[in-house]
Amino acid sequence: MGSDVDNMMTFLRQHGNQRFCSTCLAFELTLSFQGVDSALATVGQQAALTESRGHCAICGRRALVTGCESNGNNGSPEERVLRLVLDHVGRFFCHACVARRLELNIGTVQKAVWGLRASSEVRIDDTACSGCGRSQFVLGGVLPQDVRKAIVTVLLTVANVLRR
């Protein structure tokens, strides 16, 4: 199993920013589909992988394709996950929904969430996902302390005005 992961990592690294479908990855690395999935999830925790719909570099078919994340303009997976939840404060997303929205591999999302768990801007909860509705471990953004304080101040002011 360890060597399947190593082989997958080596293969994806060697092919830079090319993306591949699971059928071709299974064939190239002589793995079962399940083997490809679990190897990709493990590799994704070690290296940032992107997963999106696109054309496979080998067979050319349009499918869900995976490759190394080209760490360019988008920021690190952690930054992107944080930006997503802060853009949707009040909503919660499971790992699968975060992965789909950000076009990231599930392992890469898990690692990013793990890295964010201590952040005061993020809340991890066990409730229904705002994306798929399933109840599971979800991640949501929390407004920064000063923003919350400002909102409370405004509400108190409004309440005082109304009372007069």
Structure tokens at 108: 């890469």
Shortest distance, position 56 Cβ to Zn ion, whole Å: 3
Per CB under 5 A, the list member of 94, 104, 106, 112 interacting with Zn ion is 94
97 binds Zn ion (CB under 5 A): yes
Q: 106-116 and 33-46 are packed helices; what angle lies between their axes, rounded to 10 degrees?
A: 30
Residue 91 near residue 143, CB atoms below 8 Å = no
**Which residue type sits at 66?**
T
Other C-beta atoms closer than 10 Å to the C-beta of 39 total: 25
Shortest distance, position 73 Cβ to Zn ion, whole Å: 26
13: DSSP letter: H
128 binds Zn ion (CB under 5 A): no
129 binds Zn ion (CB under 5 A): yes
54 binds Zn ion (CB under 5 A): no
Applying CB under 5 A, the residues found at the interface with Zn ion are 21, 24, 56, 58-59, 94, 97, 129, 131-132
